[in-house]
């Protein structure tokens, strides 16, 4: 999504603030924040079989500039948010492109750089906020991908209502997206990993209503209803709970999606029930997790192309969301601050799936083993600098085997 498309929203906010008396605009400027994130990203995905492109390997530098204003005083507070992003190629080329870091040309080449920007007008009344323009949603039914050089963004409107605590309400209308490795906006489409669906896969607008209710200090209940026009309608029900004591902490997370085709059903017949749950025990720097995920119904799990599906077994490479698939996850984390190295953390997990019904495939098993090491500088002038190493070994009966390595170095700079 380019800045030109968003200029009306940005101009409205700035104009309203500039015409108010200086005291009236005080909150708009005094509460403003600006930051720059520097993100250096190397990725290598080595395919272990097949006759297509054997590997994808790229290295790039990203710059993410964010601005968030405060609100003008009064019954209706007015504010403006803006984001500008630049990606610069450091190493890539034909035969190695396609990692999702950089845009790929028709001939397989890669531009030296790409950019995108957007702005959002926000209006606040009491504890409720309306946002119109560029959005980075993190909802169970729609979560923008931020797992590469630059984040995915969306164009639309979002209303959050916080007047009825402990109940939070949200509604949204989304019309377009800018993928993580593109500059221009596109309409919404259905993800079609492993040829799960048929048809054109092009959808209409995405509309969502949802509510979250907090039960005391430890538990949350969430429900959402979403429609991706002429593709599918989806219900989500979620429960999270955290219990702590001298014995440590126990976290539980259960999620259920119920999805059916909608309207013209451009993606073909969709009928899916996706249940996933994760239980985690934490004590003395150690964390042990066990997850389970099951697909039922007549189709795989549908979600908007480019986004992160809200499933506990959506991991570095696989999502384990094929028709009839069942999968288990075992995970272990350790905080090495316990060994005198604050800021250093370790994670490993293993996910195994079975019973997948995939078009054109005779068998239905897949598995993935992930290892991650991250260090965040805790003090000094480089405080916040993070270095992250991610490795995944993926094997499948119906998709190409792959070894995936990523090195990400990020540094946040506060400008205001």
Question: How far is it, in rounded angstroms, from Cα 124 to Cα 27?
Answer: 12
Name the pLDDT band for 24 (thresholds 50, 70, 90): low
Tokens representing 59 are: 């290295």
Residue written as token pair 């700079």: 413
* CA separation, residue 2 to residues 7, 40, 132, 205 (Å): 9, 23, 15, 19
Tokens representing 286 are: 């150690």
**At residue 19, what are phi and psi to the nearest 5 degrees?**
-90, -10
Tokens representing 329 are: 């996850």
Assess contact for 71 and 32: CB atoms under 8 A.
no
Please name the helix (run of DSSP H) or strand (run of DSSP E) that holds residue 17, with its range, or none.
helix 3-19
* CA separation, residue 12 to residues 68, 81, 133, 217 (Å): 15, 12, 12, 39
CB atoms within 10 A of CB 300: 28
pLDDT digits (tens, 9 = 90+) for 119-173: 999 999 999 999 999 999 999 999 999 999 999 999 999 999 999 989 999 999 9
Name the pLDDT band for 16 (thresholds 50, 70, 90): very low
Question: How far is it, in rounded angstroms, from Cα 87 to Cα 98?
Answer: 15
* Domains present along the chain, CATH in parentheses: 1-187 (2.40.160.10), 251-416 (2.40.160.10)
Quick check: 105 pLDDT over 80?
Answer: yes
Instruction: Compute the radius of gyration of the chain from its Cα atoms.
Output: 22
pLDDT digits (tens, 9 = 90+) for 64-89: 999 999 999 999 999 999 999 999 99
């Amino acid at each position: 999504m380019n800045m030109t498309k968003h200029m009306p929203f940005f101009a409205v906010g700035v104009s309203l603030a500039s015409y108010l008396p200086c005291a009236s605009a005080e909150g708009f400027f005094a509460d403003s924040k600006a930051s720059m994130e520097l993100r250096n990203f190397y990725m290598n995905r080595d395919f272990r079989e097949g006759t297509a492109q054997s590997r994808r390997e790229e290295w790039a530098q990203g710059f993410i500039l964010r601005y968030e204003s405060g609100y003008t005083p009064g019954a209706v507070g007015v504010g403006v948010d803006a984001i500008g992003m630049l990606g610069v190629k450091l190493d890539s080329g034909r035969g190695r492109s396609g990692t999702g870091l950089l845009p790929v040309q028709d001939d397989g080449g890669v531009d030296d750089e790409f950019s995108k920007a957007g702005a959002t007008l926000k209006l606040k009344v009491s504890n409720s906020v309306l946002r119109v323009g560029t959005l980075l949603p993190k909802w169970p039914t729609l979560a923008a991908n931020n797992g590469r050089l630059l984040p995915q963004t969306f164009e639309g409107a979002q209303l959050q209502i916080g007047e009825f605590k402990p109940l939070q309400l949200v509604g949204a209308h989304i019309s377009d997206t800018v993928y993580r490795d593109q500059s221009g906006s596109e309409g919404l489409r259905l993800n079609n990993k492993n040829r799960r669906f048929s048809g054109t896969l092009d959808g209409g607008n995405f509309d969502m209503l949802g509510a979250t209710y907090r039960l005391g200090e430890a538990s949350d209940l969430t429900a959402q209803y979403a429609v991706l026009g002429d593709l599918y309608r989806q219900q989500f029900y979620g429960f999270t709970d955290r219990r702590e004591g001298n014995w440590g902490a126990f976290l539980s997370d259960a999620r259920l999606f119920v999805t059916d085709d909608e309207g013209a059903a451009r993606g073909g017949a969709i009928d899916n029930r996706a249940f996933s749950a994760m239980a985690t025990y934490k004590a003395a720097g150690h964390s042990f997790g066990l997850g389970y995920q099951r697909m039922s119904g007549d189709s795989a799990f549908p979600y908007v192309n480019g986004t992160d599906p809200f499933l506990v077994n959506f991991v570095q490479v696989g999502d384990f969301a094929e028709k009839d698939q069942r999968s288990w996850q075992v995970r272990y984390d350790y905080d090495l601050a316990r060994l005198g190295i604050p800021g250093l953390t370790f994670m490993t997990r293993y996910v195994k799936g079975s019973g997948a019904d995939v078009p054109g495939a005779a068998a239905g098993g897949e598995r993935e083993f992930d290892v991650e090491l991250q260090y965040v500088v805790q003090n000094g002038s480089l405080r916040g600098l993070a270095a992250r190493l991610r490795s995944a070994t993926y094997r499948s009966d119906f998709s190409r085997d792959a070894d995936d390595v990523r090195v990400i170095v990020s540094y946040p700079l506060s400008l205001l």
